[in-house]
């Protein structure tokens, strides 16, 4: 699976959009971009994933650049409860022989400020 690079930390004002970048310049054609987050003292939480097209769900939006070398997770109206470590990972489909287990990097510590 391709390596990802994320900023170590970011701050965001409550109520504002939080835009979390992720660089995955070595991504290959069949690799998906996944985002998880981990709130302090809780288990990781799935947020969203995508392949090429932008995706939106009730939690967030995922914007993937046309060359797929980077992506941005957008939390449209950040709240204090969104303070967490956000992990961007790139995974080949399991059907292609990719390992099933998840591996997180260091992630981005997002702090939402009141």
Binding site for other proteins (CB under 8 A): 32, 34, 42-46, 49, 91, 93-95, 100-106
Closer to other proteins by CB, 9 or 45: give it.
45
CB of 86 to other proteins, least distance (A): 14
* CA nearest to 36, candidates 77, 68, 99, 84: 84
Closer to other proteins by CB, 8 or 114: give it.
8
CB of 23 to other proteins, least distance (A): 18
Closer to other proteins by CB, 7 or 44: give it.
44
Q: Could you give the CA distance from residue 86 to residue 45 in angstroms, rounded to a whole number?
A: 9
Closer to other proteins by CB, 21 or 32: give it.
32
Pairing mode, strands 55-56 and 61-64: antiparallel
Q: Could you give the CA distance from residue 67 to residue 108 in angstroms, rounded to a whole number?
A: 23
Q: Could you give the CA distance from residue 87 to residue 81 in angstroms, rounded to a whole number?
A: 16
CB of 99 to other proteins, least distance (A): 8
CB of 13 to other proteins, least distance (A): 27
Q: Could you give the CA distance from residue 60 to residue 81 in angstroms, rounded to a whole number?
A: 14
């Amino acid at each position: 699976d391709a390596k990802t690079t994320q900023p170590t930390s970011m701050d965001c004002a409550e109520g504002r959009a939080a835009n979390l970048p992720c660089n995955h310049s070595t991504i290959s054609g069949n690799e998906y971009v996944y985002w998880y987050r981990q709130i302090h003292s809780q288990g990781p939480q799935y947020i969203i994933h995508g392949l090429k097209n932008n995706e939106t769900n009730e939690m967030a939006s995922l914007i993937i650049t046309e060359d797929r070398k980077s992506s941005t997770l957008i939390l449209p109206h950040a709240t204090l409860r969104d303070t967490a470590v956000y992990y961007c990972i790139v995974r080949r489909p399991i059907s292609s022989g990719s390992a099933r287990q998840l591996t997180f990097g260091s992630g981005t510590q997002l702090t939402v400020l009141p």
